Amino acid sequence: MDPGPRRASCVRRPMLCALALMVAAGGRVASAFNLDTRFLVVKEAKNPGSLFGYSVALHRQTERQQRYLLLAGAPRDLAMPDGYTNRTGAVYLCPLTAHKDDCMRMDISEKSDPNHHIIEDMWLGVTVASQGPAGRVLVCAHRYTQVLWSGSEDQRRMVGKCYVRGNDLQLDHTDDWQTYHNEMCNSNTDYLETGMCQLGTSGGFTQNTVYFGAPGAYNWKGNSYMIQRKDWDLSEYSYKTQEDQGNLYIGYTVQVGSAVLHPKDITIVTGAPRHRHMGAVFLLSQEAGGDLRRRQVLEGTQVGAYFGSAIALADLNNDGWQDLLVGAPYYFERKEEVGGAVYVFMNQAGTSFPAHPSLLLHGPSRSAFGFSVASIGDINQDGFQDVAVGAPFEGLGKVYIYHSSSSGLLRRPQQVIDGEELGLPGLATFGYSLSGRMDVDENFYPDLLVGSLSDRIVLLRARPVINILHKTLVARPSVLDPAFCTATSCMQVELCFAYNQSAGNPNYRRNITLAYTLEADRDRRPPRLRFARSQSAVFHGFFSMPDTHCQKLELLLMDNVRDKLRPIIISMNYSLPLRMPERPRLGLRSLDAYPVLNQAQTLENHTEVQFQKECGQDNKCDSNLDMKAAFVSELGQPLSRLHYSKDVRKLHLSINVTNIRSRERTGEDAHEALLTLAVPPALLLSSVRPAGTCQANETIICELGNPFKRNQRMELLITFEVIGVTLHTRELQTQLQLSTSSHQDNLQPMTLTLLVDYTLQASLSMVSHRLQSFFGGTVMGESGMKTVEDVGSPLKYEFQVGPVGEGLAALGTLVLGLEWPYEVINGKWLLYPTEITIHGNGSWPCQPPGGLVNPLNLTLSGPGDRPPSPQRRRRQLDPGGGQGPPPVTLAAAKKAKSEAQLTCDSDRTRCVWLECPIPDSPVITNVTVRARVWNSTFIEHLAQDLIQKRMGEGRLGGSVS
């Protein structure tokens, strides 16, 4: 079983082949920082399909010549022509030039000998590593195969092989590092031992060690090997795990470093991405006798995530201990659209790493985020190490750049380099391999080399980072008194800048021009200041460093400034405008002319200017506004109720405002003191004393003073026109609110409620009738009466009710009430009501409650029960043809010589209350009451009295519910 190299082709790794066909489902946005994407160094393979860029390394050559090289493995490259082999793989060294096709093939000098070893398809270049400045180069071919013979039968052992070459990439036979065989696996054993170890799947250098990963050893359980040199001594180390199961892939990745679990001793960190199907990272230390002892195992959390397939060591928080980053490119969360992860484990001061990550970074779905992870040095020179993470299957591939701080790695990437935006035809899987930590253009900033599976490598160089120093913004005077302003200046601002390069390069003396924007009162409209040069509150300018040290600008005060309490804030922001090419270009143009501002610094500044005011030493005004208010009469007396009628035209509101010191509050000036009134629509502002204090729109706003000074008092008398009070109006509610821009947190709205009593403007009159009524003749008992004519002489009263002026609707009913003399004290009938009729918009009878009208149900004499003529009436009352005593005449408008007065207030009469509802009507309503004089009562009991004057009383009232 062949685990394949750490990064294998689609032919060897079906899983990766499927991933290569996936479409990226999302992306992240990060502002560009200092890795340049406009002036690129790009190198391309000579032979397409060679997987040029499968592995990459930055190298500095110091022997024979001084130069920087870009190393790229091409494990599927064609073999050097020898007549025996077709494809072996290769490693290319590329100079730092603008040319894309000037890479040279590295000479390994491995000859084909099919009887002893097979180099066909050995994947030379699967691993490429540099030992650092003036150091050596390591190149591995993990599919290098030894041939064993048993008689005429051959057996093949894919043990792998690594080659060490000198600083100049040539073989130096005098260097033990290069001549040592580095054969850590025994080809005489089978796959259950180390016969299929695939040494070189991963590997690297330190100053005195070279190390290798061999994931195929022990039935693909895997192993890690290390050769340590000290002077002339050489020691070999390997990890003999106690694990029984195979297919763990220990050694799939390997990193070696000190300050991991010991301040000085080295620790071997190796990934096993198939450990218990979830992956693991083993931390190993040296033991006597050449063994590597397991110190800690960090396990993955998801099956198939390939946790441990990429690892990196970096001191992220500058505590002197190296922290660990572990890639899990196939990690996923379906609901969250996550594809790939990087686990960040912070070192616990050399004792161990926590079992759970301190930080978990995620990539977008199907991106293979974390496929490659590299410590790239301090690319922005802020004193903290930075990290690059590859997501080769996100679109055309992306590389995420993360910065760190004293708290560790920052969660959000500071820059995302998108392969699609580089404008390179044919580029794909950008970010498949990464190499950093070396400044190849000698501008004091480490650069980053990025590989791919598309036969291209890209060098991203770091631009200088500019720190802005002494970015001062000073306003003079700091306390503004408008009385001292002139037509040309009211105040002055001075801005000063200086800069340095974050890397501290003393030779960096570039002319830096900042573009800045000054804005006065940015958060207020309208602003209170304007710049004299721009005649607006905004000024745009340029500042050239180091030639210019400071600039001064004059400002003017706007007219009619009201707010003199809050300070004027003058803000400044700045940027570094550069003319960058719109599209990426190939070349080695110096990046010194294209610096970037330090994004960790705030790119703005501000200063405050206070107005001159009497608010104590802290310049903070603590006011104590207070208010008393009431509706009052013309004489100034408080009103609790409004007795409203059509004659009521005015309503007065008295308000007293003070700003006097109390125990709790100092009572300093109240700036922009306002009184706001919300009044009902029924009230219309008529006048205010003092005049000009208040303005009415949707609400009434009264300006009390700016400022309303300490110990000041003010009385307002506001007069309203009452225009909309109706029967529906039960109350008038007004809300008053004091406000000030000074500090006072106890200002609460006051609500005044005035109850309304509505007086109807209806009229009641009695139509004048000259009415005579007679009684006389014989006495007839009640039981003998059949018609109203049997009762006695008729009476008629007619009342007129004037219109109310507005409908009562559902609020109630207008009622005409009559106090009617019904009986004498002994129970005999007096005036017998026969009919009540109402005439308005129509005609209808009125039936008061209690059956008081025609209670005997006597037959009416005819329409209207009209009285006959006096002659006819006398004949009806005198059935004897005039042979009895003469009738008595009741004169309605003429006094008799002798009179008796029967009223409802006398003790001789009992009265009843007759009520008739009067409908809503815009016209006069007539109410006609018809009755009969009870003839028998007058004959028997009142014959000697003349009855006149008021015998009853009528009243008009309203019943409102």
pLDDT at 138: 98
In this structure, the number of other CB atoms found within 10 A of the CB of residue 369 comes to: 32
Q: Is the predicted pLDDT of residue 24 greater than 90, yes or no?
A: no
526 preceded by cis ω (within 30°)?
yes
What domain count does the chain have?
4
CATH number of residue 493's parent domain: 2.60.40.1460
Helix (H, G, I), strand (E, B) or coil at 389: strand
Q: What is the mean pLDDT of residues 537-544?
A: 94
Cα–chain center distance at 369: 29
Q: Do 564 and 536 sit in the same domain of this protein?
A: yes
Contact predicate 553/535, CB 8 Å: no
Residue 5 lies in a domain: no
Residue 545 lies in a domain: yes
Domain boundary among 460, 495, 530: 460
Sign of CA dihedral 394, 395, 397, 398: negative
pLDDT at 191: 92
Q: Do 632 and 560 sit in the same domain of this protein?
A: no
Q: Do 895 and 880 sit in the same domain of this protein?
A: yes
Residue 9 lies in a domain: no
CATH number of residue 700's parent domain: 2.60.40.1510
Distance separating alpha carbons of residues 821 and 905, to the nearest angstrom? 10
Q: Do 750 and 820 sit in the same domain of this protein?
A: no
CATH number of residue 287's parent domain: 2.130.10.130
Reported as a single tens digit per residue, the pLDDT across 417-450 is 999 999 999 999 999 999 999 999 999 999 999 9
Cα–chain center distance at 445: 38
pLDDT at 393: 98
pLDDT classification of 507: cutoffs 50, 70, 90: confident
Contact predicate 860/837, CB 8 Å: no
Give every CB contact of residue 799 below 8 A, 6+ residues apart in sequence. Answer: 764, 765, 766, 767, 816, 926, 927, 928, 929, 954
Among the ranges 214-223, 573-582, 760-769, which has the highest mean pLDDT value?
Answer: 214-223
pLDDT classification of 68: cutoffs 50, 70, 90: very high
3-state secondary structure 911-940: EEEEEEEECCCCCCEEEEEEEEECHHHHHH
Residue 522 lies in a domain: yes
Reported as a single tens digit per residue, the pLDDT across 356-378 is 999 999 999 999 999 999 999 99
User: In terms of pLDDT, which residue wins out, 273 or 11?
Assistant: 273
pLDDT at 349: 94
Distance separating alpha carbons of residues 458 and 56, to the nearest angstrom? 10
- Confirm whether pTM is higher than 0.85: no
Reported as a single tens digit per residue, the pLDDT across 116-173 is 999 999 999 999 999 998 899 999 999 999 999 887 788 999 999 999 999 999 999 9
Q: Do 587 and 685 sit in the same domain of this protein?
A: no
Query: 446 exposed, middle or buried (CB, 10 Å; 0-12, 13-18, 19+)?
Result: buried
Contact predicate 185/194, CB 8 Å: yes
Return mean pLDDT, the chain.
86
**Containing domain of residue 423, as a range?**
14-460
Q: How many CA atoms lie within 13 A of 233 on its CB side?
A: 3
At 482, give phi and psi (nearest 5°): -55, -20
Q: Do 597 and 647 sit in the same domain of this protein?
A: no
pLDDT classification of 954: cutoffs 50, 70, 90: low
Distance separating alpha carbons of residues 811 and 317, to the nearest angstrom? 80
Give every CB contact of residue 781 below 8 A, 6+ residues apart in sequence. Answer: 936
- 93-107, 805-819, 828-842: segment of lowest average pLDDT: 805-819
Q: Do 559 and 668 sit in the same domain of this protein?
A: no
Give every CB contact of residue 742 below 8 A, 6+ residues apart in sequence. Answer: 565, 615, 621, 622, 623, 668, 669, 670, 671, 672, 673, 707
Give every CB contact of residue 734 below 8 A, 6+ residues apart in sequence. Answer: 653, 677, 678, 679, 680, 683, 751, 752, 754
In this structure, the number of other CB atoms found within 10 A of the CB of residue 662 comes to: 9
Domain boundary among 611, 640, 671: 611
Contact predicate 869/918, CB 8 Å: no
Contact predicate 359/418, CB 8 Å: no
Residue 355 lies in a domain: yes
Q: Do 632 and 604 sit in the same domain of this protein?
A: no
Domain boundary among 758, 778, 801: 758
Q: Do 704 and 770 sit in the same domain of this protein?
A: no
Q: Do 560 and 669 sit in the same domain of this protein?
A: no
The tokens of 15 are what? 């899983």
pLDDT classification of 548: cutoffs 50, 70, 90: confident
The fraction of the chain above a pLDDT of 90, given in percent, is 58
